[in-house]
Amino acid sequence: MMLKKCVALVCLSVLPFSLMAWGVQGHRVIGKIAENHLTKKAKDQIALMLGTERLPLITTWADEVRYSPEYASTAPWHFINTALGLPFEQYTGVVKALQEPNAYLALTQNLKDLKDPSKTKEQKLVALKFVAHIVGDVHQPMHVSRAEDKGGNAITVKYQGKDTNLHSLWDSGLLDYEGMTYSELAVLLDKPTPMQVQQWQKDDITKWLFESYTISQQLYAETEKSAEFDYKYVPAHLPTVEDRLLQAGIRLAGVLNAAFN
């Protein structure tokens, strides 16, 4: 899916491991798309929970609190790493067998908490904020990759002559569309077919992960051929970025509709 009438600019900096998938703009685009596809019941209940806040704006909360003592243990919730080269069935088995904290365990647990009538309003609000963020994270390919290189953080690359690493290239590279807010970007992206919405929301979470896992393997393969990327890199990968943001927004709406209906 190609965006029309937009200019893609990439601003890179070397940030700590898994700091902010998609950046603020990307996460909020996902939240806005999700908001557009909520049922009335889900939208009303979420509005009651959030009060003066809005869904797009809470999507970055999990990144904002992760370095505070209270939420330090949630750092591994933003990614999941496995060996490469696994077929879907084997990959699913490996993911479900993982015991250490990871994005899959965190997302499934927070979805359970969101539906649990025994949880307080405050606990459900925290769960909602984590769900809104982690759904975005797992659609970022380098957050679903391999452990030995820390999701690409240990792979040095050059972009436009500047040193960075493969993870940061995808993680902290911000798509800056000239003169557009996250709401305007969501309008441009949010054009799925009814069939796509139905299929994406029906897919299991392991399918979301495997899609990112497959893309990250392709990114690794590209880097093995050459670790120096020029101005062609962004246009070549922009359709993938756009698709993952749209799928994340539609799927976030799907899990929230299910939780609140």
List, for residues 3-30, the tens digit of each pLDDT value.
433 333 333 333 333 334 578 888 999 9
Which pLDDT score is estimated for 237?
87
CATH code for the domain in which residue 56 is found: 1.10.575.10
Q: What is the pLDDT along the chain (261 residues), one digit of tens a residue?
A: 444 333 333 333 333 333 345 788 889 999 999 999 999 999 999 999 999 999 999 999 999 999 999 999 999 999 999 998 999 999 999 999 999 999 999 999 999 999 999 999 999 999 999 999 999 999 999 999 988 888 888 999 998 888 988 888 886 554 543 347 889 889 999 999 999 999 999 999 999 999 999 999 999 999 999 999 988 888 888 889 889 999 999 999 999 999 998
Residue 183 within a domain: yes
- Domain for residue 4, yes or no? no
The pLDDT value recorded for residue 21 is 59
Q: Tokens 């790493």 sit at which residue? A: 81
- Residue 73 class from Cβ within 10 Å (0-12 exposed, 13-18 middle, 19+ buried)? exposed
135-155 pLDDT per residue, tens:
999 999 999 998 888 888 899
Find the helix packing angle between 40-50 and 121-137, rounded to 10°: 110
Per-residue confidence (pLDDT) for residue 162, from 0 to 100: 87
188: closest CA among 53, 32, 54?
A: 32
The reply to whether 1 falls in a domain is no
Note down the domain range covering 151: 10-260
Q: Answer yes or no: is 3 within a domain.
A: no
Q: Which residues contact 182 (CB under 8 A, 6 or more apart)?
A: 25, 28, 29, 32, 56
pLDDT at 232: 87
Count structural domains, the chain.
1
